[in-house]
Amino acid sequence: MIFRQLFDETSNTFTYLLGDSASGQALLIDPVQGKEARDLELLAQLNLTLSWVLETHEHADHITAADKLRTLSGCALATPNSGQSQGADRYLKHGETLVCGAIELEVRHTPGHTAGSASYVNHAHGMVFTGDTLLVRGCGRTDFQGGDAAALYASVHEQLFSLPSTTRVFPGHDYKGHRESSIAEEMAHNPRLGGGRSLEAFVEIMKGLKLSPPRLLNQAVPANRRMGAPDPFEQLRSDAVGVPQADLGWWGENKESVRLIDVRQPEEYIGPMGHLPGAELVPLDTLIHAAETWDREQPLVIVCRSGARSNRGAIALKNMGFAQVANLAGGTAAWFSSQGARA
């Protein structure tokens, strides 16, 4: 197996290249946006074709190159099915094996750093790619993105420390100049998780860290949940009061990743014009109350009959702190006449 450990010095992220010279197939684990040219050049020099990009989790400190690499090389994208990402070609379940030529990686869900984190085990060569679940003499933080110190402790002990002790550990990051470790080394010397440290002691350590949020958190997490694809809301023109205006074509392309809220009255929703597929009925006078419990990062498109009430709804939601809200210009009426035109 051809193996390369690559590094992004801006985010201290390791990217791993695994290649099978017989079939010419290769995969990258956790490639970083901005490093696509380096990674593709190296693959070409090694006579390898990129078949897969794998993510270990939705990173908060850099944006993945996954979507760009798919555009440039035609590779497929895989990510754990326990996360919130959309736009992958395959969602990896715990226990399954990803095959790339002669390379096999077993998927192990290892939640704790994030709720959706996974590690990838190559049994044939005794290697594990741990993302931020287990670092050399450390571990990823557990204070956001569904992080959970007790879950990380269980993941490391049950899924990683159970591997053969000679297994080589390849982490997602390093900040102190280390490159790799082994299961035996981390079991003995990891200051947070090794040396037989108890769950209670580990949870206390993680509680006491008091880290500041990563610089790129608010950009990186939403972008990584799109596998690094550009923000579709940035393509939209805004009206005079700053509400992005979506048309039916945009909605058709993005409807899998946006929530569509219909702010008309119930009798209109079930009336002769009907409603767009997937539209959730939340009448305008109940919108603010209903939206109090919604995820502020969830992209929303608001629709009414012709676009006036929905624009008011979109302004209200923006004022509540929703990051991505657009108005469906022309509303249900435009959709209804487009249906007629097609029939």
Query: What are the residues binding Fe ion (CB under 5 A)?
Result: 59, 132
| Cα–Cα dist 171/129, whole Å | 6
CA 341 vs. chain centroid, Å, equals 38
Nearer to Fe ion, 132 or 262 (CB): 132
Nearer to Fe ion, 57 or 264 (CB): 57
| Token pair 């002790």 in the structure block, residue | 165
Residue 188 CB, nearest approach to Fe ion (Å): 25
Q: CB under 8 Å to 52, separation ≥6 — which residues?
A: 27, 28, 75, 76, 77, 78, 98, 100
Nearer to Fe ion, 133 or 311 (CB): 133
DSSP readout, 2-26? EEEEEEETTTTEEEEEEEETTTTEE
Q: How many CA atoms lie within 13 A of 128 on its CB side?
A: 29
- Say whether 277 sits in a helix, a strand or coil: coil
Residue 60 CB, nearest approach to Fe ion (Å): 6
Nearer to Fe ion, 180 or 280 (CB): 180
Residue 31 CB, nearest approach to Fe ion (Å): 14
Nearer to Fe ion, 59 or 70 (CB): 59
Using Cβ positions, the residue closest to Fe ion within the complex turns out to be 132
Residue 138 CB, nearest approach to Fe ion (Å): 12
Per DSSP, 211 falls in state P
Residue 14 CB, nearest approach to Fe ion (Å): 12
